[in-house]
Structure 1
Amino acid sequence: MSFRVEPDSSLKDALKDADHSLAGVWVCSASPLIAEICAGAGFDWLFIDAEHSPNDLQNVLAQLQAVRSYPVVPVVRPAVNDPVLIKQYLDLGVQSLIIPMVNDAQQAAAAVAACQYPPKGVRGVGSALARSARWNRIPEYLTRADETITIMVQIEADEAVRNVEEIVATPGVDGIFIGPSDLAASMGVIGQQSHPDVVAAVLKSINAAKAAGKYAGVNAFDQKSAREYMDAGADYVGVGADVALLARATEALAASFSSEAQSKAPQSY
């Protein structure tokens, strides 16, 4: 059996081989059916979110299974930078993680440690019980698991931007993912992801990652912003979400049959 768990391996492998910025879509509905629809849409990666969505371990497992046959890289965000929760997602077979709310190098190092077996880290050993190792059917999984795991840490606070050089220098961190919504809130301009100060912080973080030889991603549901960040060097960009796409499409359809069109929804994400 091949050592790689998922057919297209992890996000860092996809980024290493990419000749363009990778566009991804969030899957927040906790639905394997919707995940499979999104997986076949042509995106490069899927962002299965368990921080702001009703996803749990069983939902995430079902979605990993649903998208496995598609040429797309699944990426999972746990709710918190917690070694127990991270261990459980890794055992499910998650290979690419985005860890939220990492504000300094110490927190980044904790995220890395949670993803690595001792002596390098603190990941609990349960490969005989875990899908990640195919229940010990994958030779040398315990000694080579690190090769299959991508660790992205999320820059989404003003404090994190101030510490971004130290964060991206943390051994084992493959890159960052920037969240302009929380970043805007932390900078006192909540809901204004396009505020010049927020954009400057995003660009600073992208440049810091690139200078350190690490990958940089950003969330940008607005197409103009997404393309501008791609042009600025972002390696991967979250360009939409299943629930947001459904909300906007159903509003537009309803409005086409109604004399009272709904007001435009805010662009916050």
Structure 2
Amino acid sequence: MSEEDTTHFGYRDVKTEEKAGLVRGVFDSVASRYDVMNDLMSAGVHRIWKRFTIELSGVRRGNRVLDIAGGTGDLAAKFAPMVGDEGEVVLADINASMLRVGRDRLIDNGIRGNLHYVQADAQYLPFPDNHFDCITIAFGLRNVTDKDKALRSMLRILKPGGRLLVLEFSKPRNPLLSRAYDAYSFSVLPFMGKLVAGDSESYQYLAESIRMHPDQETLRQMMEDAGFARCDYHDMTGGVVAVHRGVKD
């Protein structure tokens, strides 16, 4: 097989057309325990990372917002009251299990009306050109097979002046932190996954997929290459996580 025919799934090389199915299997396995594991893995800090992303978004009343790879709806739940009845929030995920968990959770919390659910692939977003004021993707871009294609798809459906926020695991700046993070990722995470979610392999993939994701400067350049302007990023927790922002001119 040529390099064009393969991509990475964690540290494994797989056929390009197989990756989406493999990622789907990971999230089918962990969907019901996803929120619990996020709180345990990050000691709750993921909520602070997401809150900062929302603050950077500039979302206001009447806006249309798309949350891609929205999972169990953390960001969508915050955006819905911000845009109000005249606005719209779309929670999108390629994985039906995750989307179902997110929809049920938000409905149970009384969040309805301006919130819609769409099963969609980030590479082929089924929305009109120039439609959204803001797009967010939190901890989802690293699982996308063709990130460049996904970024161009997001640019297409943003309105001029619209903003993309990419919240994702990244590369720690401090070598000591990096070593400690590696030790935690490859020993504690799989053990925790087995104990809480009954699945160590999915959390082994999580650790590997983070290491295969582009670093901060590479992702910023990818966003610029896709056509985004004024691209910048903010490191959090020493660079363990970064939020990238770009604007459509």
Q: TM-score, normalised by structure 2?
A: 0.33
From the two aligned structures, give the one with the greater helix fraction: 2
- Please state which structure has a larger fraction of its residues in strand: 2
State which structure, 1 or 2, has the greater radius of gyration over its C-alpha atoms: 1
The two structures have a TM-score, normalised by structure 1, of: 0.31
